């Protein structure tokens, strides 16, 4: 009689041993190790970002507090200055107390000559390449021509109602700002109108509020100070194309503010109330402020005026006239 076969089950291939990991399960130790690595990486990133921000803040503070090199300083002869400008080798001041236009050498302060107004009240002046001075008067549309410190001609600027500033460009074209209309007019040296731009209104190419003094840079771009609630600066090309505009720190900043635009595109402004010079770049961003030169020996107090810039120097009228080299930002 045949023997019965034992009922033996066939072995299961790839059987999972007792205690083996399930599919996709990570060992407990590995979990802790991976989690710790991630935390460390995040900490490193945070530290790196913090360090970068600290470096950026330090560099920004260093830039904001940069000081200029004092080239020279000399005594001004004005008693109450309403205007100081630099053309050619001349530092020209309009002194409201003595009703004079005073001319000094821009580097030594040596007096070159004085024009004394017998009637009328000059408020701003410009000088062409041939050394002729042109002045506009308070509440007037008159243009005075001054040669060898004597008035030689007078023109009526028929479109102007109340002149607030005048500049001369590299081609001997005169630009006159009109406080009544907000316009900037272009004239020949004989008082012949050549064009106009700006004017009160909305839009980038217009003036909101009022227009005051105007200034010019080495590229013949014109900068206007705007007043009232719109206390700030607005710049145009010589053809009236809008360039940039920005506000000043406070309406008080506009009261005695003047502008010195330098060849690198930066704009230096005297902030009388703060006894500071504030510096903006060509895009209207505040990039620096100073009240002393780099050595700390010349301290600016109540800067009544600032001038120049186009010739590569900045002239600050305070208790003396200080001549600075522009700061490299």
* CATH assignment of the domain containing 102: 2.120.10.30
Domain contains 307: yes
pLDDT at 89: 98
The dihedrals phi and psi of 3, each to the nearest 5 degrees, come to -80, 145
If you average pLDDT over residues 243-255, what whole number do you get? 88
More confident residue, 17 or 193: 193
pLDDT at 48: 66
Which of 121-125, 226-230, 300-304 tops mean pLDDT? 121-125
pLDDT tens digits for range 111-125:
999 999 999 999 999
For residues 154 and 148, the answer to whether their CB atoms sit within 8 Å is no
Model confidence at 14, pLDDT cuts 50, 70, 90, reads: very low
Model confidence at 21, pLDDT cuts 50, 70, 90, reads: very low
Query: What gap in Å lies between CA 315 and CA 295, rounded to an integer?
Result: 17
Task: Kindly give, in sequence order, each residue whose CB lies less than 8 Å from that of residue 117, ignoring residues fewer than 6 positions away.
Answer: 99, 100, 101
Query: What gap in Å lies between CA 303 and CA 307, rounded to an integer?
Result: 11
Average pLDDT, the chain: 88
Domain contains 30: no
Q: Whole-prediction pTM value?
A: 0.82
Domain contains 37: no
Domain contains 148: yes
End-to-end CA distance of the chain: 112
If you average pLDDT over residues 288-301, what whole number do you get? 96
Give yes or no for residue 18 having a pLDDT over 50. Answer: no
Give yes or no for residue 9 having a pLDDT over 70. Answer: no
Tokens of 123: 């408020």
Domain contains 65: no
pLDDT at 67: 97
Query: What gap in Å lies between CA 265 and CA 231, rounded to an integer?
Result: 21
Burial class (CB in 10 A: 0-12, 13-18, 19+), 107: middle
For residues 181 and 162, the answer to whether their CB atoms sit within 8 Å is no
Give yes or no for residue 72 having a pLDDT over 50. Answer: yes
Instruction: Determine the structural domain holding residue 192 and report its residue range.
Output: 76-325
Query: What gap in Å lies between CA 210 and CA 224, rounded to an integer?
Result: 10
Domain contains 54: no
pLDDT tens digits for range 189-209:
999 999 999 999 989 999 988
pLDDT at 249: 87
pLDDT tens digits for range 26-65:
455 555 556 777 887 776 777 767 656 555 556 656 778 9
Least reliable range by pLDDT among 9-13, 145-149, 285-289: 9-13
Model confidence at 164, pLDDT cuts 50, 70, 90, reads: very high
Domain contains 119: yes
Domains of the chain: total: 1
If you average pLDDT over residues 313-319, what whole number do you get? 96
DSSP 252: G
């Amino acid at each position: 009689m045949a023997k019965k076969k034992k009922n033996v089950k066939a072995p299961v291939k790839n059987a999972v041993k007792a205690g083996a990991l399930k599919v996709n399960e990570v060992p407990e130790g590995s979990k802790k190790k991976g989690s710790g690595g991630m935390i460390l990486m995040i900490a490193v990133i945070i530290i790196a970002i913090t360090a970068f921000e600290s470096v950026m803040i330090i560099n920004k503070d260093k830039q904001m507090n940069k000081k200029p090199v004092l080239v020279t300083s000399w005594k001004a002869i004005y008693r109450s200055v309403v205007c100081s400008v630099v053309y050619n080798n001349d530092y020209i001041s309009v002194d409201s107390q003595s009703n004079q236009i005073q001319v000094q050498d821009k580097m030594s302060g040596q007096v070159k000559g004085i024009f004394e107004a017998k009637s009328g009240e000059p408020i701003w002046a410009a000088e062409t390449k041939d050394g002729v001075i042109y002045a506009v008067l308070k509440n007037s549309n008159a243009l005075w021509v001054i040669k060898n410190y004597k008035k030689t001609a007078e023109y009526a600027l028929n479109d102007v109602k109340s002149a607030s500033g005048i500049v001369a460009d590299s081609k001997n074209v005169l630009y006159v700002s009109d406080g009544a209309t907000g316009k900037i007019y272009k004239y020949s040296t004989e008082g012949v109108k050549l064009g106009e731009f700006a004017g009160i209104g909305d839009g980038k190419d217009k003036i909101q509020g009022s227009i005051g003094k105007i200034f010019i840079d080495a590229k013949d771009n014109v900068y206007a100070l705007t007043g009232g609630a719109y206390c700030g600066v607005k710049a145009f090309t010589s053809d009236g194309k809008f360039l940039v505009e920005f506000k000043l720190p406070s309406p008080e900043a506009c009261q005695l503010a003047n502008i010195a635009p330098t060849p690198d595109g930066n704009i230096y402004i005297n902030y009388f109330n703060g006894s500071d010079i504030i510096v903006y770049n060509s895009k209207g961003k505040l990039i620096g402020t100073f009240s002393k030169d780099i050595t700390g020996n010349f301290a600016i107090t109540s800067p009544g005026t600032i001038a120049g810039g186009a010739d590569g120097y900045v002239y600050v009228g305070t208790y003396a006239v200080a001549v600075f080299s522009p700061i490299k930002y």
